[in-house]
Structures are given as C-alpha cells and as structure tokens.
Amino acid sequence: MVQQDQDRVLQDTERVEGRTALRNNVDAAIALADAVRSTMGPKGLDKLLLGDDGSYLVTNDGVTVLESAKVEHATAKMLISTSRAQDDEVRDGTTSTVVLTAELLINALELVDRGVHPTIIARGYRMCGPVVEQTLDDISILADEATSLSSVKTSLAGKGDSSLQNKLAELAFAAASVTGSGEPEHTRVMTERSGSIKDSELIPGIVLMKARVHREMNLKPQAGRILILDGGMEKRKPEIEASLKITHTGAIEAFHARERADLQARVKCLSAANIDCLVARDGIEEEAHAMLAAAGILAYRRVERPEIEHLCRATGARPVFDVEDIRDEDVGHFASIREEKWQGVEHTIFVGSQSQGVTVVIRGSTSMRLEEAERAFNDAIGVACQLIREPRLLPGGGATQIALARRLRRHAETIPGREQMAIEGFAAALEAIPRILATNAGLDPIDELLRVTAAQAESDSAWQGLDVNTGQTGDMRKASIVEPISVTRHAIAGATEAAISVLRIDDVLWAKQDAQEPDWQTDED
C-alpha cells in the first residue's frame, strides 16, 4: 500500500535510481573532462568557441571553455561551478580540477561495480586528505624571486607563444611585487590595440582614459591631496516637483546668481580643505570649471565606480557624498598626476601614495590577441599574488601527482578495510594528470608514467618529473617547472569534494509537468 501511494505521488516525475543514476552522472563528468583534457599542459591544444551571434574565440583556458559551453546536465553544472571556484580562488588549475574529478568518479564507479558501497568510497577518499596535506608540505620548497617568476611562467604554459608568456609573467610578477598585498584586484588591466605584446608595460599608478575638465587647470607633478566625490558637483535641484512664477525681469538673473554662489561656496569648501585634485563619479557643472581652475584645483568627472575603487586603494582616499562634509580622514594623497596621449586619446596617470595601485597596459595588434593576453595575464597575476600570500612551491611536470600517488599507495597498505581500495583509486586518479601531459605532448603516457615513478624511487626525490618540452625526465627545480602549493592543494580538495557530492546522489528526479498558473480564487467565487 505504501509503494502504491509513493508511485501515485511520483506519477508525474521521471526517476532514475541507484547505479544507473551514478553511471549517468559519471558519464556527464567524463564528457565535461573530455572537452578540456586536450588543453592541459604546455603542449595542450586550443579550442574554437562559436557563439550564436557568429562570434568566435580561440582559447585553451579551461574555465573559459567550460563557461562558454551550453550545459544542461545538473552534474556537469556542478563540476563547472567547482572549476569556477578554483579560478576565483587561485586563478589556475581549473582543467586539473575537472579532470581529477572525472577520474575519481570513474574509479569510484568501478569499485561500485565490484560491490563497494559509495559511502565507503567517500570515506576512503576523505581519508586521503591528511596524507595529501602532509605530503605537499614535505615536498614543497620556499619560493625566492627566481623560482616565483618561474612558477608564474609555468602557469602560462600553452597560452600563446613564448614571447607572450615571458612578457606577461614578468609584468604579473612585477605588479604583485609592487603592491605586495596578494590581491589581484589591486592591479588594473588596460588593453591598447597598438604595437605588439613586447610593448606592454607596468605603470606604477592608476591610468584613467580621462582628460581634465578644463585645459587651464594645471597638472600636479608634485605630491598633493585628492578628494573622491561619490556624486557630482552640479546645480542643486529641488527635492519635490515645483513651478516658479516670475513676477519681475530680475528674478531669473537673481536665481542664476544664487546657483553660481552655491557652486562658489562648494569650491571654497574644497579650497579650505586644501584639495589639489577632485575626482567625481558624476558630472561637474560647466560654470564650476573656471572656479576650480582659479582655485588651483585639478578636476575629473564621470569616473566609473571600478576606477574610483582603484583610485581609493592607490591614494588612501574614501569617497564622500558632499564636498561640504569633508573630513581629513576622507582625503587621500597622490605623488603626482600627469597626462599622456595614446593613439590620440588623453589618458591621466595618478601615482598614488599607498603602493597598492598599479596599471598594466597590454598592447597588441588584434582584438583576439588582446583578449587572449588579458585572460592569460589574469591567470598570471592570480598565481603571482598566491605566492605573495603563501610563498611555497611544488614540482610541476606531473611530479607532485606521482609523488602523492606513491605515498597514498603506501598508506593504503595500513588500512584494513575496503577503504583501502578507495585510497588506491584516489592514487590512480592523481596519475591521470601526468598521463594527460604526456599524451598532449605526443608521448606514450604509460611509458612516461613508469619512467617518472622509477626516477623518483631511484633518486628518493619527489622533484623528478616529466619535461614535455624535451621529452626527458629530470629535476623540475633545475628545469624551472614549478607551481604554487595553493593551486595544487585547492584543486585536489575541490575535486575530492565534488566527486564525493556526486557519489552521494543515488536518486535523480525530473518533474515532467511544466509550471502551471495558480488557480486564484476571486471574491465572486
């Protein structure tokens, strides 16, 4: 009777249960991983993404490929969300996260087919966490300036040619070093369609595509005080709708004189606060331009909010809503302000006093190259900032994953239960990374995996890895193939949690009916 009631309740719902549901979810994960598998590593291939409007994009950035795809499957969306979280957190390792999740699910499905319960597999996967953390700490080294730059270059492997990689890595490392905050948001990125990538530069200040509101205003080559106005400096408008009745000819002139006096009073407030530069988010009244110039105040108007945030970080200013409410702690300080003309367009360069605002100008000949360079730089600056926060490095070339797999297999021998099989499956999933690196480089994945494993065992060093540029096994430190510990740690943790979340799903239900309009009752009823 209970079963009949349940069937009646779910009669308008499609349902997939048990192993079939798991198999469908694993198939979705495999399809997603296959879409980005070939982009991994310095020898990875590119993807051509076509839009509905005829636009196209060539890239090998994993998260860009995944977010551009039209995905309907819920499990695939979950993995894309995991990849996006990886990108938001460390700006690298997105492809590794998706591939590792898929491999963990493939191995889990094999264990389920052999009679191991998903809960036991999930428990075994979680038991790998402390071993992975300890191993990463054991094999990591402290980063210095040279190895940090090498790590940033490694993150750009496969993204453009070597000249682009080297230039963007140098700019990203320099930007992170100047700000010293470990926050990518402190670096403003601009693209200029002129010159080549080698002409890109780092400017120690905030660059705005703005010109001063009045040519008679003097620029500020020396240090001064800056006020950020979160609003405008325009004629005040009545708060309520009103109409004026003019009774004599001088009334209009008196009304305008009152408006000019109000503007002059606000300019005097700026002068009293010793403001040298005013930056307004909204407009500045035309009549106020000459007043500000006469008072020696340099002014800029209609500055976008993101640019204002950059200026605040660089100068230490805090936005105010009214110039009549200026407090000394709201005023920022700049080192200099100058203007330059690029491609016939005026740009203003604010050099702040806080060393927390720099601008990287990326130059290139085509829009497509600029877009790809900007995406690559965003990855590079993220990695560089990660090294500011946690300056520890791991070997690349699949060496870290092979070292972890070897350590996990030894640990599995100490586990008496079925969790041992899950730990071995976790180790096998990690080895997918070096296999894919070898495959994308045109090498035999099994031979290279065995060769690196033997090299690590013989030298008793976890830093033996595969240099796909030469096709040889060697010390990754000497080859300058290194990556931040935070990237690998976050990728493994994110993949583990995503795989366990999918493993715990044993029932998938789809409502077959579309949403219906509610049957509202009326007073007549």
pTM: 0.82
CATH number for the domain spanning 105: value is: 1.10.560.10
Task: Say if strands 472-475 and 464-467 run parallel, antiparallel, or are unpaired.
Answer: antiparallel
| 94 and 182 fall within a common domain | no
How many domains does the chain contain in total? 3
- Residue 4 falls within a domain, yes or no? no
Q: Can you give the residue range of the structural domain that contains 468?
A: 10-142+394-511
| 411 and 442 fall within a common domain | yes
| 324 and 455 fall within a common domain | no
Q: What is the rounded distance in angstroms from the CA atom of residue 22 to the CA atom of residue 507?
A: 8
| 240 and 323 fall within a common domain | yes
| 101 and 71 fall within a common domain | yes
Beta bridge partners of 206: 350
- Residue 133 falls within a domain, yes or no? yes
CB 381 within 8 A of CB 90: no
- Residue 432 falls within a domain, yes or no? yes
- Residue 517 falls within a domain, yes or no? no
- Residue 324 falls within a domain, yes or no? yes
SS3 434: helix
Q: Would you give per-residue pLDDT tens digits along the chain (525 residues)? A: 445 554 554 555 566 776 888 898 999 999 999 999 999 988 988 888 887 777 888 888 887 888 887 787 888 888 888 888 888 888 788 899 999 999 999 999 999 999 999 999 999 999 999 999 999 999 999 999 999 999 999 888 878 778 888 899 999 998 888 877 667 878 889 988 888 888 899 988 899 999 999 888 999 999 999 999 998 888 766 555 666 666 666 666 666 777 788 889 999 999 999 999 999 999 998 989 999 999 999 999 999 998 999 899 889 899 998 888 889 999 999 999 999 988 888 999 999 877 677 899 999 888 888 888 888 898 889 889 889 889 999 999 999 999 999 999 999 999 999 999 999 999 999 999 999 999 999 999 999 999 999 999 999 999 999 999 899 999 999 999 999 999 999 999 999 999 999 998 887 766 555 544 444 444 444
CATH number for the domain spanning 335: value is: 3.50.7.10
H and E: helices and strands count for the chain: 17, 18
Residues involved in catalysis: 61, 94-95, 379
| 98 and 134 fall within a common domain | yes
- Environment class of 6 (CB within 10 Å of its CB; exposed 0-12, middle 13-18, buried 19+): exposed
The CB density around residue 129, as the number of other CB atoms within 10 Å, is 14
| 366 and 412 fall within a common domain | no
| 341 and 274 fall within a common domain | yes
- Residue 525 falls within a domain, yes or no? no
| 20 and 131 fall within a common domain | yes
- Residue 524 falls within a domain, yes or no? no
| 159 and 238 fall within a common domain | no
SS3 399: helix
Is the dihedral angle over the CA atoms 12, 18, 20, 26 positive or is it negative? positive
Q: What is the rounded distance in angstroms from the CA atom of residue 223 to the CA atom of residue 292?
A: 18
| 170 and 37 fall within a common domain | no
Comparing CA positions, the residue from 221, 186, 174 lying closest to residue 351 is: 221
- Environment class of 245 (CB within 10 Å of its CB; exposed 0-12, middle 13-18, buried 19+): exposed
Domain end residue (candidates: 351, 370, 404): 351
Distance (Å) of CA 417 to CA 124, 128, 301, 481, 496: 9, 14, 69, 38, 20
| 365 and 436 fall within a common domain | no
The number of residues in the chain equals 525
